Amino acid sequence: MTTVPTSITDGRALVDQAMRAAAERLDPWTRRVVAYHLGWTDEDGRPAAAGGKALRPALALLSARAAGTSYETALPGAVAVEFVHAFSLLHDDIMDGDRTRRHRPAAWTVFGPSAAILGGDALLALSEELLLDQHTRGAHWAARALTAATQRLISGQALDIGFESRDDVALDECLTMAADKTGALLACACSIGAMLGEGPTRLVTDLTGYGAEMGLAFQLVDDLLGIWGSPETTGKPVLSDLRTRKKSLPVVYALNSGRPESERLAELYTRPEPPSEDALREMARLVEAAGGRDWAAAEADRRIASAGRYLDDSGMDDVVAAEFRDIALFVTSRDH
Amino acid sequence: MTTVPTSITDGRALVDQAMRAAAERLDPWTRRVVAYHLGWTDEDGRPAAAGGKALRPALALLSARAAGTSYETALPGAVAVEFVHAFSLLHDDIMDGDRTRRHRPAAWTVFGPSAAILGGDALLALSEELLLDQHTRGAHWAARALTAATQRLISGQALDIGFESRDDVALDECLTMAADKTGALLACACSIGAMLGEGPTRLVTDLTGYGAEMGLAFQLVDDLLGIWGSPETTGKPVLSDLRTRKKSLPVVYALNSGRPESERLAELYTRPEPPSEDALREMARLVEAAGGRDWAAAEADRRIASAGRYLDDSGMDDVVAAEFRDIALFVTSRDH
């Protein structure tokens, strides 16, 4: 795996401290769920260290640098985007029935679905609260952008759930879903620091464009890992997205490719019974033979190139632009 | 039942129109759930008329009049508080396993829990969005107050869920729970129009105080109806809160009264099996004999009196104050 760019690790302690301080505002019962979900505690409330990579806060802080503003100004935005991300994971795991998150039991399996619903609700409200506590025009801009990203995140999840019961999902719908579910919040993360710093609108637009393209690349790679990733990397069983017959981007590409393999793949995807290990291996071969794997990898590259063009056009500081480029490469070169 | 005050029906058409316009922003799948939950459509998406009493929007508009501002200015606040209320009902029904809401199947039983979780999430985000779309200091004030009320609503629900597995709930904890779960949002509704109109801080404080006290009175009456209300009024079976052994205010008062009936009531409340009809009637008699019914009715009156004092002190227009008084009486004179 590529080395983690320093811009990701750089402000991590600052963000961690701010997140913990913000979570102190929650009532003890909800805080317990949130602390577990964020990896700060184990199931019994004892200190733990199991957090995620905190990609979104790192992007938020980097976007502050792009606008020439301080980390301190961007900090509420960094925490807010991570809280919205955490909210969506808490609720999605319940909806999707996912029992594992970051190699640990999902919060709803530990504390029950009610606690996880409330924990997510509290994080969503708290994210807005943190921004509104800043009485600046930039904070208003950031808060408005964050609610818009949240609505797209919700639409994307709704579309994704709808896909489960459909056998006619088109590639463009699937791309819309990924843009909403993954791209929108990453785009907000990449620009929220610049908004808080009241940077030029043009810079915010370019950072948003960069984040949306990088977000799609991120999802494409995630979908590749969901089929061909190793369990050590993904924390999930091999061929995991095929087990749940998820309509991920490479699969939907393959189903719509019009090649001979599409039909057999569609047949395996619509069988009522859970697929055997043999069937899973066959499905993976079919997705690859129908071009799904190559397309997804090439599309991720195209999106990264497109993300880079937003950086070129933005006129931002070269050092900061280089760090954004590093992050895009890091995100798409995860082990697959 | 007392006649509905004109201030409740007055701006209803305006609010209804604004709510429907706002819901148009949601993706079609989430909008379907929201439209059903708000009573605009039936289970098949056909137009229906099954909405609630829209008490909170009416209070929001009235608070605009208290601050001498227009309904138009207050409208985003009126819609936002109703959406937060709707969000909490959507999620609470899932958590509490309540299958009926306003005499109809609860949304989660019709569309599934995932759709109801997402519908609630979308309403919460949308409520903030509506306020942030107004670029005024008043809207910022209102948005901040609404997130604070939402956090208290969540704490109250967390506390309430915690009560279910406890047999040592004290009366002051139960009052805190009701103040959080019911009082906070009503207090916000009573003041949000004045915030949007950028009225004096003192007026907003008095309106918040009025709303918090009126909200507690509302909850006390609700709890009385939950035991002694008729099924026609409540839309629930007789003695409904006793069936679920809810730790409502009159019950918690009775359990802590130290009278001979407390012990027998506690015993019936902790039995593992569902109570028989005989046991339910005995529980109701015990709550009454231990003073729970009288205390709750007297406490509701005290809260209404206290709410009235906030109006006296506020120096607001007499006509508007009289309408707030009418609403408090209306809310506490529901058939019990």
Q: Which CATH superfamily is domain B6-332 in?
A: Farnesyl Diphosphate Synthase (1.10.600.10)
Residues A224, A297 contacting (CB under 8 angstroms)? yes
Distance from CA of A176 to the nearest CA of B (A): 12
- Looking at residue A189, its pLDDT comes to 98
A15/B contact by beta carbon, under 8 A? no
Burial of B35-69, coded b for 16+ CB within 10 Å and e otherwise, reads bbbbbbbeeeeeebeeeeebbbbbbbbbbbbbbeb
State whether A151 and B129 contact (CB < 8 Å).
Answer: yes
Residues B77, B192 contacting (CB under 8 angstroms)? yes
**Smallest CA–CA distance from A84 into chain B, residue:** B125
Smallest Cα–Cα separation from B212: which of B59, B65, B5? B59
Bridge-based pairing of strands B100-101 and B104-105 is antiparallel
Smallest Cα–Cα separation from B116: which of A30, A101, A165, A113? A113
A113/B contact by beta carbon, under 8 A? yes
- Look up residue A129 and give its amino acid: E
**Smallest CA–CA distance from A92 into chain B, residue:** B114
Quote the CA–CA distance of B208 and B219 in Å, as a whole number: 16
- Looking at residue A115, its pLDDT comes to 97
State whether B161 and A115 contact (CB < 8 Å).
Answer: yes
- Looking at residue A1, its pLDDT comes to 43
Distance from CA of B93 to the nearest CA of A (A): 10
- Looking at residue B336, its pLDDT comes to 43
Distance from CA of A179 to the nearest CA of B (A): 14
State whether B117 and A159 contact (CB < 8 Å).
Answer: no
A and B: number of Cβ contacts within 8 A: 121
State whether A158 and B27 contact (CB < 8 Å).
Answer: yes
- pLDDT tens digit string along B93-131? 999 999 988 889 999 999 999 999 999 999 999 999 999
B179/A contact by beta carbon, under 8 A? no
Quote the CA–CA distance of A190 and A310 in Å, as a whole number: 12
Quote the CA–CA distance of A148 and A183 in Å, as a whole number: 12
Smallest Cα–Cα separation from B327: which of B191, B211, B199, B176? B211
B158/A contact by beta carbon, under 8 A? yes
The torsion of the CA quartet B117, B121, B122, B123, rounded to 10 degrees, works out to: 100
A271/B contact by beta carbon, under 8 A? no
- Looking at residue B1, its pLDDT comes to 43
* A-proximal residues of B, 43-102, CB under 8 Å: 87, 91, 94-95
A128/B contact by beta carbon, under 8 A? yes
A117/B contact by beta carbon, under 8 A? yes
Quote the CA–CA distance of B289 and A189 in Å, as a whole number: 59
State whether B129 and A117 contact (CB < 8 Å).
Answer: no
- pLDDT tens digit string along B18-74? 999 999 999 999 999 999 999 999 999 999 986 777 899 999 999 999 999 999 999
pLDDT at B2 over 70: no
State whether B143 and A128 contact (CB < 8 Å).
Answer: yes
Task: Report residues of chain A scoring pLDDT below 70.
Answer: 1-3, 50, 335-336
Q: What is the ipTM of this complex?
A: 0.94
- Looking at residue A299, its pLDDT comes to 97
Backbone angles phi, psi at B71, to 5 degrees: -55, -40
Quote the CA–CA distance of A102 and A235 in Å, as a whole number: 6
State whether A129 and B147 contact (CB < 8 Å).
Answer: yes
- Least confidently predicted of A153-162, A311-320, B78-87, B236-245: B236-245
- Looking at residue B6, its pLDDT comes to 77
State whether A158 and B91 contact (CB < 8 Å).
Answer: no
- pLDDT tens digit string along B152-181? 999 999 999 999 999 999 999 999 999 999
* SS3 category, B50: coil
Domain ranges (residues) in chain B: 6-332
Which residue stretches of chain B are H helix?
6-10, 12-23, 28-37, 55-66, 71-96, 107-111, 113-132, 137-164, 171-178, 184-196, 201-228, 231-234, 240-243, 249-255, 260-270, 277-289, 292-314, 318-332
**Beta carbons within 8 Å of A224's beta carbon, 6+ residues apart:** A250, A293, A296, A297, A300, A336
Cα dihedral sign, B124-A108-A92-B108: negative
Quote the CA–CA distance of A168 and A172 in Å, as a whole number: 12
- pLDDT tens digit string along B62-77? 999 999 999 999 999 9
Distance from CA of A113 to the nearest CA of B (A): 8
* A-proximal residues of B, 186-205, CB under 8 Å: none
Average pLDDT over residues B289-298: 97
- Alpha carbon separation from A120 to A92, B19, B91, B200, B292 (Å, rounded): 10, 24, 11, 34, 35
- In chain B, % of residues over pLDDT 70: 98
Of B333 and A149, the one with more pLDDT: A149
Q: Which residues of B fall within a CB distance of 8 Å from A87?
A: 121
B173/A contact by beta carbon, under 8 A? no
- Look up residue A10 and give its amino acid: D
B159/A contact by beta carbon, under 8 A? yes
- pLDDT tens digit string along B183-192? 999 999 999 9
Q: Give the position of tokens 């990579």.
A: A53
Distance from CA of B160 to the nearest CA of A (A): 11
Calculate the average pLDDT of chain B: 94
